[in-house]
Structure 1
Amino acid sequence: MLTSVLQGKKILLAVTGSIAAYKIITLTRLLIKAGAEVKVVMTKEATKFASPLVLGTLSKHPVYRDLTEGDSWNNHVALGRWADLMVVAPLSCNTLAKMASGLCDNLMMAVYLSATCPVLVAPAMDEDMWHHPATRANIERLKEYGHTVLQVGAGELASGLVGEGRMAEPEQLLSAIRTALRAKTLQGKKVLITSGPTREPLDPVRFIANHSTGKMGAALADAFYEKGATVLFVHGPGSKLPTYPEITKVAVHTAAEMYKAAVAGFSDVDIAVLAAAVADYTPETVADKKIKKKEASFTLPLIKTQDILKTLGENKGGKLLIGFALETDNSLENARKKLEEKKADFIVLNSMQEPGAGFGYDTNKVSILSSKGQISESTLASKAEIANFIIETALESDK
């Protein structure tokens, strides 16, 4: 089963002299937790702001600081060729100038000039330095080299001023690193994901809904994006959102709104995955004022909502269409019936009877039914792993 895009990736963190260097401690922990292998190279000035001992302990590798240590030589060529991605963070104004001009006067610069992998930089400096013409020219030079340059943030700076120049936060850096390491499996493909619950209003204060959290849909959106696809994410209220800011998000509330957004989005995609828990029925009328409690019983007339999966199945052409089914009994029988009636290519079956699976959990266990008659079953795993399992199964079967 496929795992995180960072699993097994080799990340070289180059830390330069800036107060923002303390953030690299958190970033290192996040990368290790995501399954990456991390090595750290620091300039002499950087060691004044972040402890090499801490970074070495977290990364489980010695921290590289000098071209020579005792009678040993740090092979900057091997280190530069080791990485899948070199991340210079924080990138000080001084190191920026060195990188732009190719000046090589320390180990970090020797490694940078030897690197054969993509380079991502996260600048950090005071506002006046950031806006200086020399800095702007150096930033443009790095972009010309093909490097990814993260935008600085605005806020309180080390000088006490408030303005632009803050380095991106560790979570933003993690997202940028994951984006930089995206696979090309689905490059050029467009994917529609529906996710989360819908809410069908009774009156201005009440609605009919379900327990969906949107965790599975968000995991699918992230997994498709990590494989190079362009993702449109249509989500109901309160849904968990995908990690990547580059994923287009469309918020809806009712089943009718989700139907409209999904049908509109479907016209321009190659793959659609309908993971949302859409209401099957909606109130026939919506009261314009709060319904008061009066009688001992209350009858609520409901009407069917429009069937998104069926509509897309009738108009899918050569698109790949994946639906979801959550069952409490006769699971396989009901899922097969849904697969045939809705003209889907796959139905992902969730069972409420499976411990650790279903609404609200961070884990899931699914059976994937194919229109070709195949059934693929997962183990209980994280929803990120299940998302990759669904994509892998669909792509292999669709060949």
Structure 2
Amino acid sequence: MDSTEASMNEMDRSGAKSFFQTASPLKNGHLISEKLKDFVRRNSEGVAPRGIVCVTSGGTTVPLEQRCVRYIDNFSSGHRGAASTEYFVKAGYAVIFVHRHGSYQPYCRYLPEDSFLDFVQLDEESNIQDAHAATVRKAIREYHKILQLVATSINCFGCHSMFYLAAAVSDFFVPWESMAKHKIQSTSGPLDMRLNQVPKMLSVLRKEWAPAAFCVLFKLETDPDILTQKADAALKKYGMHVVVANLLANYKEEVVVVTQNEKTTVRRNSTDEDLEKQLIGLLTERNSDYINQSGTQSNCQ
């Protein structure tokens, strides 16, 4: 590691620490932590280690007031994350699904929003329950706090853990201490507001929270001329194992899977098939290669 990279890593750590110290407390943080511990325990039992993946999905919001009425929205439907979760479960992974309330959910993507599944409760013997746990977030500060909780909880899985970061995460935020306490009044005239840049948590995830995990990042662009360039830069800057590059114009039809050694285009085979079926198949192969090369075992017992 050169001095420039070391300096950037230190800035990321310092920025992350400051972000968490000044953010409001995570609602139900203790309950989320306990549920994660139980999920990890249930999925670490047995002789052969089971793969576990954290799928992040949907958009994030940037609150403008402490008692939030107004916010900036970084929208995403969450369809890719929901579909990918289904295929990860089919592939034998335990999945922690970190999603935004109101975004698409696994196994009910094509049902109305007020789904009858809301009235169905899984029993204690359900295989789906053992393989899939969900936690909800909306604001940018909640997203990063939950990501940290998940990462430190599954760190014991070592190279058998994976992060599939498909959420649309805001790059900017308003620090808690800079927010108006109550609703911003329109009678005050035009609104001038300065947004801070969100600290780069990805390098902290890779270096500290879960350093042995296999990490997949999504990169969405609107300009095809810079797509792979941005993906290559993210791969190197954050130490990702894979960057999935996609264009807004055709993200449902085609993605480019970028690694240090190759770029692989994945296309949807037909209108009746999810692109995620091909994508998750390729990523689980890359993950298996990574596990075989790493040769480390789970340490969650």
Is the CA contact (8 Å cut-off) linking 1:263 and 1:308 kept in structure 2?
no
**Residue 303 (str. 1) matches residue 192 (str. 2):** no
**Residue 313 (str. 1) matches residue 206 (str. 2):** yes
In structure 2, distance between residues paired with 1:386 and 1:343 = 26
Residue 221 of structure 1: aligned partner: 85
AA matched with 2:91:
K
Residue 70 of structure 2: aligned partner: 206
Residue 15 of structure 1: aligned partner: none
Specify every segment of 5 or more residues in structure 2 that has no aligned partner in the other structure, as ranges.
1-47, 108-127, 290-301
Structure 1 stretch displaced more, 202-211 or 328-337: 202-211
Deviation at 1:201, TM superposition (A): 0.9
Residue 20 of structure 2: aligned partner: none
**Residue 326 (str. 1) matches residue 220 (str. 2):** yes
Is the CA contact (8 Å cut-off) linking 1:187 and 1:227 kept in structure 2?
no
AA matched with 1:320:
F
**Residue 194 (str. 1) matches residue 194 (str. 2):** no
3-state DSSP class of the match of 1:378? strand
Residue 241 of structure 2: aligned partner: 345
Residue 111 of structure 1: aligned partner: none
3-state DSSP class of the match of 1:289? coil
In structure 2, distance between residues paired with 1:260 and 1:383 = 37
Alpha-carbon spacing, 1:384–1:193, altered in 2? closer, same or farther (3 Å): farther
3-state DSSP class of the match of 1:397? helix
Deviation at 1:194, TM superposition (A): 0.8
In structure 2, distance between residues paired with 1:249 and 1:271 = 16
3-state DSSP class of the match of 2:186? coil
Residue 163 of structure 2: aligned partner: 272
Residue 16 of structure 1: aligned partner: none
3-state DSSP class of the match of 2:243? strand
Deviation at 1:221, TM superposition (A): 1.0
Q: Identical aligned pairs, as a percentage? A: 25
Specify every segment of 5 or more residues in structure 1 that has no aligned partner in the other structure, as ranges.
1-185, 358-362
Matching residue within 256, 263, 266 for 1:375:
263
Deviation at 1:230, TM superposition (A): 0.9
Deviations 1:284-334 (A, max 9, x none): 332222212246632111112233322222234332110101112211111
Deviation at 1:224, TM superposition (A): 0.6
In structure 1, distance between residues paired with 2:52 and 2:197 = 30
Question: Given the two structures, how large is their TM-score scaled by the length of structure 2?
Answer: 0.62
Residue 396 of structure 1: aligned partner: 285
Matching residue within 233, 236, 243 for 2:97:
233
In structure 1, distance between residues paired with 2:140 and 2:151 = 16
Is the CA contact (8 Å cut-off) linking 1:197 and 1:214 kept in structure 2?
yes
Is the CA contact (8 Å cut-off) linking 1:255 and 1:306 kept in structure 2?
no
Deviation at 1:254, TM superposition (A): 1.5
Deviation at 1:364, TM superposition (A): 3.7
Alpha-carbon spacing, 1:279–1:237, altered in 2? closer, same or farther (3 Å): farther
Is the CA contact (8 Å cut-off) linking 1:189 and 1:229 kept in structure 2?
yes
3-state DSSP class of the match of 1:297? coil
Is the CA contact (8 Å cut-off) linking 1:223 and 1:387 kept in structure 2?
yes
In structure 2, distance between residues paired with 1:303 and 1:383 = 43
In structure 2, distance between residues paired with 1:193 and 1:225 = 11
Deviation at 1:187, TM superposition (A): 7.4
3-state DSSP class of the match of 1:323? strand
**Residue 256 (str. 1) matches residue 150 (str. 2):** no
3-state DSSP class of the match of 1:266? helix
3-state DSSP class of the match of 2:89? helix
AA matched with 1:288:
K
AA matched with 2:170:
A
Is the CA contact (8 Å cut-off) linking 1:347 and 1:369 kept in structure 2?
yes
Deviations 1:11-62 (A, max 9, x none): xxxxxxxxxxxxxxxxxxxxxxxxxxxxxxxxxxxxxxxxxxxxxxxxxxxx
**Residue 386 (str. 1) matches residue 275 (str. 2):** yes
Deviation at 1:209, TM superposition (A): 1.0
Tell which structure's C-alpha radius of gyration is larger. Answer: 1
3-state DSSP class of the match of 2:204? helix
Is the CA contact (8 Å cut-off) linking 1:200 and 1:208 kept in structure 2?
yes
Deviation at 1:383, TM superposition (A): 10
3-state DSSP class of the match of 2:215? strand
AA matched with 2:88:
F
Residue 123 of structure 2: aligned partner: none
Is the CA contact (8 Å cut-off) linking 2:268 and 2:278 kept in structure 1?
no
3-state DSSP class of the match of 2:267? coil
Is the CA contact (8 Å cut-off) linking 2:268 and 2:274 kept in structure 1?
no
Is the CA contact (8 Å cut-off) linking 1:218 and 1:242 kept in structure 2?
yes
Deviation at 1:227, TM superposition (A): 1.3
Map of 1:144-155 to 2, 5 A cutoff? none
AA matched with 2:274:
E
Is the CA contact (8 Å cut-off) linking 2:205 and 2:211 kept in structure 1?
no
Alpha-carbon spacing, 1:383–1:231, altered in 2? closer, same or farther (3 Å): farther
Deviations 1:347-382 (A, max 9, x none): 01110233xx3xxxxx34211101x32111122466
3-state DSSP class of the match of 1:242? coil
Deviation at 1:245, TM superposition (A): 5.0
Is the CA contact (8 Å cut-off) linking 2:51 and 2:93 kept in structure 1?
yes
